[in-house]
A and B are shown apart, each in its own frame.
Chain A
Amino acid sequence: MSKPESGCQSTFNMNSATMKSYFTAVISSYAEILFLQNPRYGLALLLISFINVNTTLSGLIAVFTVLAFAYFIRMEVEFLQNGFYIYNPLLVGMSIGYIFEVTAVSALLIMMAAIFTFLLTIVLYHLFLKASIPILSLPFTLVSTLIYLASLNYTSLYTQALYIKPAFVDLTFLPVILSMYLKAMGTILFLPYSGVGLLFVIGILSYSRIMFLLSIAGFYVGVFVHSMMLGSWHLALSNPYTFNYILIAIALGAIFLVPSIRSILIAMIGVAMSVLFIDASASFWAIYKIPVFTLPFNVIVISFLFVLQSVRFREFAYDIKKTPELTLRSYILSFFRFRLGDINLFLPFSGKWSVYQAFDGEWTHQGEWRYAYDFVIMKDGESFKGEGNHLEDYFAYKKPVLSPVSGYVLDLKDSVEDNLIGHVNTIENWGNYIIIQSQLGHFIEISHLARASIKVKKGDYVEAGQILGLCGNSGYSPQPHIHIQVQESVLLGSKTLPFQFVSYIEDDHVQFYDDPPEKREVESYFNDKSLDKRLSFTLDSRYSYDVYHGEKIIDTFELKVKMNRFSGRFYFEDQKGNRLHLAKEAGMFYLYDYEGKDESWLQKIYIAIPRIPLVYRKGLTWNDYLPARYALRTHLTYLLSIGAIAFPRAYITKGKWQFKDEQRIEGVLFSHPEQKVAVGLDQSNGIDYIEVQEHIIRMRR
């Protein structure tokens, strides 16, 4: 073969970018221990931890061992970057360094332990992934316990056992009630000194006010409960494992659950429970002279998350952001913007139909079948013209039934006669029906279609909006109508599940993710090709903008369309690295998850047009919600985000938008004072201009 194997070559060619990635990985893993997702904080922690050179050194030995190992097995750098895979080995390294001096022998021990922890991390991660449960520091607890047990035999190590205590880092002047909290904080990184703890607390405070408050609440609630049990406040305060309270409080109250009153209560219950755990395990572990480490934290948090996930706890944080504040913001916004329900359907017809029966409808939507919708067409209060004695008199009869989801047709029936008016078929009560399994796995059933009208076959893939058949009057149906439900299984008549309609029009207003009440007239829509095209942002395309203040151009910027190769999410990025995510689904184009500096032009675009329904009718209106601070332009963000725990509504600003014509959208943000915004869509592609606050942002051609 004459061709050089260049691909292979480059794998072993470590460049500076890769080096930087590894460095980021190391410092990120430090930050990760305190739930901080910011490498800079990690760097600070690393520097602080040099107060105890021995633990830090052994921690670093562990980390570099793992990195070398990962490199050796050609693991992709990106996987390591966020520190997730190496923070357990780091902890293990530090835990060894905490009691053994670094020597050639202990270094060997650290290296073996680190690789083992790394392997265990990956194994547990994949096992836990199925249940979407984090592994926390479970690998560390397990491996450290293992090492401590093993090292009982390694007498050579013990002789060099180390009990140093750098005196200057304890703030002896502080009252014990405070210094113990700080000490607990330091202990998390094997630095049980109040001075170090203080630095950590300052770091946490600057990173997240919510985490800071939870650390305090967790610590003192834990100590309080423990003191009740022990009958001694002092004993409770000086317990070496109180850092578990802090970890539990932060993990449950702010990281893995969205910060809320309910999450915080759960966190405190967890903290209280951990008291028992600490005492029990301490007695038991003490026999073998091994510390409890973070075992209480791991067992309690993992148990809680397992249960909360299985009951679909509403505040379960499926989308964990960099800080609890951001998680909370994104949750509140998603709650108002997307309602968080997971079964979403399009209306199964074209045009305006009326809800005849909704969920819990009094005639037939009862018991197991309570979650269903019936639709008819009404004009002037009647569903038929003339006397209504003939099927043909009914406006709904033989009108197209459109697919409410994209998915596969699993089952259907097409042979049941349409009942004459005034008769119902109680034997084949579902009549002619279709059962479709959506891409997300839900089973959708549509009933009472007209005989021989079904236009799809079993096994066909159908797209949302595609014609399925015609509305009829077969089965238990006194007049032609469309019945739609989501059910537990493919079996006809199985138990129904609640769902919502993604987007529809009611009185010239677009509703997103809602269940229209009975008698309401709703109009369906599916993506309009023109809006779809104009709001198509292809990867790597660029859009240049000039910013005007009055007549004057005060700034220019360029947006590039990019994609995150792991999540597949698209985003706009400006030259400053600010990012704004975009998506087109469920009948709308929308912007979400702004990451970057406040007051950037990209953020202004987000404020001006958070979403656009992919349907045009002149005068059509819709609502959306923005983070209040964007619209308010306030710097009271700390207060806002803490307040949001109890009063989510205060955190968002509502806005209303309207199509003035096919190219111009005008909106009002209901902030104080109200703000007007406007958006021009280009005739062919992209956003032509944005009028927001005192600026006009115009596409440059």
Chain B
Amino acid sequence: MTRLLAWIAFLFGALYFALPLIGMTEFSLKMRRGVYSLDAYVKVFADPRFQETFSFSVMMALATIAFGVLLVVPTAYWVRLKMPGARPWIEFVTLLPLVIPAIVIVFGYIRLYNTSSFLPLTGSTTGTNILLMFGYATLALPYMYRSVDTGLRTIDVATLTEAAQSLGAGWVTILSRVILPNVLIAVLSGAFLTFAIVIGEFTMAALLDRPAFGPYMQLLGANRAYEPAALAVIAFGITWACMALIQLLARFAPKPAKPVKE
């Protein structure tokens, strides 16, 4: 009986998510009257602005990932190693981007770094791009921090650090040769989540007036019928590919050594 209820709940959930997707995908294939075709997709891919905005966002995503990894891995490592008492606080801080709307963050940025401020980042294209990357890194922080911290939990950070130290290793060596390789899978899951977030992000890119993929999707959505559906399917595809890669990578995670009985 409970099994049946569980199945019903699952089916309902599946339909709830699947039906709109199926509907949208079907719609995106109906550009040519009467038959299914990939016309909408061909149009989208052929649009130079699609190529521009998409490659801009990919570059931004890669930069954000690099920055995020450099920021989060040493931080999460240090917190676990030296200030375990501060973990709840750090965790709280990393969760803030989930409750503070992106629009608030970006308005804060614009106020703080406008052309008449002490650090006029918005005055140049490069400066604005850097600011946008910081914004993306902030949005991705909860996911990145969580996955790295979970990765660190699977290894004995303190003892591995001491083992490496006694073998002559300094902090950079420890981070790059001992810690990072052992949390690489966790870092990559965080990276793919970051990628998915950056590709779809609208608010920050729009308000900082950067030619990103998110605002392009919005623009297209406001003016066309079939192409936005195709674009949405593509965006979904990218996100899902990221998720699938995370799952795939989990299989290659370095296995922890046999548990030591205490």
Q: Do A and B bind each other?
A: no
Give B residues with C-beta under 8 Å from A. Answer: none
